[in-house]
Amino acid sequence: MVAESSKWKATHWLILSYLTLLSYWKEKKIRFKPDIQESQIGESSIDLRLGNIASKLIENPGVTVRPAVTIPKDLFKDTKIKDGLTIGPKELILAFTMEEGTLPADLCAEVQGRSSLARYGLATHITSPHIHPLFTGRVALELYNHSAIKLQFYPGDLICQLIFSQVTEPLPLDWKQKGRYKGQKTPQPQKL
C-alpha cells in the first residue's frame, strides 16, 4: 500500500505518448547527440540505434567474481563494431546506443527491447532498465542471445526503445548525480 503524501497521491504512472514526445524533442527538453529522426518516435517510445562500441565477456572457466564488491578489469574486452556485431547463442555482450541522450529534471526513462528482435531471442537489458532524471550519456545495453542461432547487428540498427515517464517532482538542476555510469566511455562495469 502506498502512503499518501500531502504533496501528491500515487494514482497512476504517466507514460509520455507520441505528441508529448514529439513536443519535448522539438523543444529540446529531450536531447540526443547525434540527433534522432522524427521516424524514431513511436506511439509511446523513442527507438535508439546501436552504437559502435561493445564489450565482450571473456570466458574464464573456474573464475568466481563478487561483482557487488569488486570488478576485475580483465573480464571484458572492448571492441569497435565495424563489420557487424555477432552475438552467439547464450552470449552476453555489453554495448552502447549510438545516441547520447539528455533527460530533463522532470522525466525518467526505461530502456526496453524491441519486440521484433525479441522474437529472435535478443534481450536488450537484463535487469537494469531505469534511467534517472538529468542523466546524460549513451545508454548501456546488456545484449543477451537466448536463441540457438547467431544474431548479427550493425551500428545504426534500431536496437532498443526508451519509454519516458514523469517523476512526481523535478530534481533540482544542481542535483549531483549519484550514479557511477554518467558519461561513461565504455559499457564495461565500473568500480563500486
Q: Is residue 180 part of a domain?
A: no
Query: Chain centroid to CA 161: how far?
Result: 8
Task: Give the structural domain span for 139.
Answer: 18-166
**91 CB burial (10 A radius; 0-12, 13-18, 19+):** middle
Q: Is residue 171 part of a domain?
A: no
Q: Which helix (H) or strand (E) holds 19?
A: helix 18-26
Helix (H, G, I), strand (E, B) or coil at 89: coil
* One pLDDT digit (tens) per residue for the chain, 192 residues: 344 444 555 556 689 999 999 999 999 999 999 999 999 999 999 999 999 999 988 887 888 888 777 767 678 888 899 889 999 999 999 999 999 999 999 999 999 999 999 999 999 988 878 999 999 999 999 999 999 999 999 999 999 999 999 998 877 777 776 555 556 666 666 554
Whether the CB-CB separation of 131 and 99 falls below 8 Å is answered with: no
CA distances from 146 to 14, 33, 130 (A): 31, 31, 22
Query: Chain centroid to CA 80: how far?
Result: 18
C-alpha closest to that of 142 among 189, 181, 93: 93
Q: Is residue 177 part of a domain?
A: no
Question: What is the rounded CA–CA span in Å between residue 100 and residue 135?
Answer: 10
The domain total for the chain is 1
The catalytic residue among 91, 100, 110, 142 is 142
Q: Is residue 135 part of a domain?
A: yes
Q: Is residue 7 part of a domain?
A: no
Whether the CB-CB separation of 40 and 158 falls below 8 Å is answered with: yes
Question: What is the rounded CA–CA span in Å between residue 149 and residue 146?
Answer: 9
Q: Is residue 181 part of a domain?
A: no
Mark whether 100 is an active-site residue. no
pLDDT of residue 1: 36
Q: Which three cell numbers stand for residue 60?
A: 574464464
Q: Is residue 104 part of a domain?
A: yes
Quick one: CA torsion of 69, 74, 80, 82, rounded to 10 degrees?
-120
**Domain of 152: which CATH number?**
2.70.40.10
Q: Which three cell numbers stand for residue 161?
A: 526503445
C-alpha closest to that of 79 among 117, 51, 48: 51
Q: Is residue 81 part of a domain?
A: yes
